Amino acid sequence: NTPLRKRATAKGLIYGATSQHRILSSDKKFAARFAQECAILVPEGELKWRTIHPSPNYFNFKPGDWMVEFAHAHGMLFRGHTLVWHGSLPRWFADTVNSRNVEQILLKHITTVAGHYAGKIHSWDVVNEAIHPPHGRTDGLRNTPWLQLLGPNYIDIAFRAAAKADPQALLVYNDFGLDGAAYQDELRRTAVLKLLERLKSVGTPVHALGIQAHWWGGVTRLDSGKLKAFLRDVADLDLKIMITEMDVTDKKLPKDVILRDRIVAGIYEDYLSVVLDEPAVIAVLTWGLSDRYTWLSKYQPRKDRAPVRPLPLDAQLNRKLAWNAIGRAFDNA
């Protein structure tokens, strides 16, 4: 019955989840359960460009500030997500940013946002999802506005600016598709390692790899050997590892809730038991806490229209088999 945050803390680990200002400020029951289970809060969208930088010369810190307060009022840490991403860019971005002003705009954003929250952030996802091997570059980088306008060095520029603006935060490179046995995942692991090696070799201040861990039930296969070797390679670069966005999509799983929950829980436990075997791993975060609020309801709804069940608590905030599985993984770590 011990909450996940305590079971993780007992092993020197951090458990937490993402949520939103809108949710935590209106759903009191959920907010209370969140504070009970989580030792760290991740804002799901409040610190993304579209929300925090809605026009070129205006920053909207209100929702983020509210969340920092909420976290601190409940003895939780707070994460920054995210400073550089190709997603959730504001509408003004495409019209305004060009190769002449891009570096100045990026630096202003990072200096202002990371500066505003300096000292209050456990870890920043400085750069999010920069790898995409299918784009065909030898370095495996994703073809984003940042890459097009600044070249691969945009990543170094961002980490250096973040380190300057908030010297206390752990600076994270965060990406997905790094967990499975598929060839695609292997390509992504190789590209991420190459990137991290390069950043380290030129002295760019990166401190950790964030592994998103969005699993697809019935699709993603675990190859413990490959996964362990990857984690070790990352740790050998003198980097910490955080599992940053875990959830299990149940779109391809049977409708029967008991069976579905059992499969989802099994995935959490099998994956986390491998991951928590690696001493460089410092945290496990889920992308949401309760099935009441998950991006997957909208992004990966089931064909049979049954509500999705990807997270540790159900929509009524009851603990599921997945909650037990995560707890056991912490206990056995």
Q: Looking at the annotation, which residues are catalytic?
A: 129, 245
User: Should residue 212 be labelled a site residue for ligand G3I when binding is judged by CB under 6 A?
Assistant: yes
**Residue 87 binding ligand G3I, by CB under 6 A:** yes
Residues in the chain: 333
Stretch that binds ligand G3I, among 41-49, 94-102, 112-120, 222-230 (CB under 6 A): 41-49
Q: How far is the CB of 44 from ligand G3I (least distance, A)?
A: 5
* Helix intervals (H) in the chain: 4-9, 21-26, 28-37, 49-52, 62-73, 92-96, 102-116, 145-150, 154-165, 183-201, 224-236, 257-275, 295-299, 321-331
Residue (174 or 204) nearer to ligand G3I, CB: 174
**Closest to ligand G3I by CB, 31 or 257:** 31
The site string for ligand G3I over 219-258 (x = CB under 6 A, - otherwise) reads --------------------------x-------------
Tokens of 271: 């994956």
Name the residue nearer to ligand G3I (CB basis): 45 or 310.
45
Q: Does 295 bind ligand G3I (CB under 6 A)?
A: yes
Q: How many Å apart are CA 40 and CA 42, to the nearest integer?
A: 7
Contact partners, residue 14, CB within 8 Å, separation at least 6 = 8, 39, 40, 77, 122, 282, 283, 284, 285
How many whole angstroms separate alpha carbon 141 and alpha carbon 150? 13
88 binds ligand G3I (CB under 6 A): yes
In the complex, the residues that contact ligand G3I under the rule CB under 6 A are 44-45, 48, 87-88, 128, 212, 245, 295
